[in-house]
Amino acid sequence: MNYIGSKQTLLPFIERVYRRVRDGDERTACDLFAGTGAVGRHFKRMGLRVMANDLQYYAYALNKAYLELNQAPRFSQLPRAERRPAPTRVECALTMLGRLPGPRGFIASNLWARKRPALLPGGKTRRRPMPSPAANQSMAPRGGA
């Protein structure tokens, strides 16, 4: 993921500074403003253990996946019935998340409409699907992780 605040273009500079100041015993890097995880992933590829922190939940989700997983998930716990309609386990997992019932409440009722208007030329609108709040809720950390 690339956005205006990404540190992706700074990685060569960050690595040069790291190599200049290290003493050789480093085993852990800490990325205090992790964002999309560019710096943490870079240090992980260099063989360091990485601790990452960010205020935004999207950053937590991205960095948890990027830094804790060392191989693609197999989704072996998916029920067999969920595996039938899609050819790959990843597609099955996404299909299962898409079928989750949405939560009830203010946000789901008022801000997470099933479709939202898209502006077209001439000021016309067209309805387009929005992400499912149920999928977001099912992927939320449990118990203060």
* pLDDT digit string, tens, across residues 69-94: 888 777 777 766 555 555 677 777 77
pLDDT at 53: 93
Structure tokens at 96: 């299962």
> Which pLDDT value is given to residue 50?
96
pTM of the model: 0.56
Percent of the chain with pLDDT over 90: 34
- Per DSSP bridges, beta strands 125-129 and 115-119 are antiparallel
Q: Is the pLDDT reported for residue 63 higher than 50? A: yes
Domain map (residue ranges) of the chain: 8-68, 72-119
- What pLDDT is attached to residue 144? 47
Q: Give, for 136, the enclosing helix (H) or strand (E).
A: helix 133-138
Q: What is the pLDDT of residue 15?
A: 96
What SS3 class is residue 118?
A: strand
Bridge partners of residue 30, in order along the sequence: 51
Instruction: Pick the range with the lowest mean pLDDT from 5-14, 62-71, 82-91.
Output: 82-91
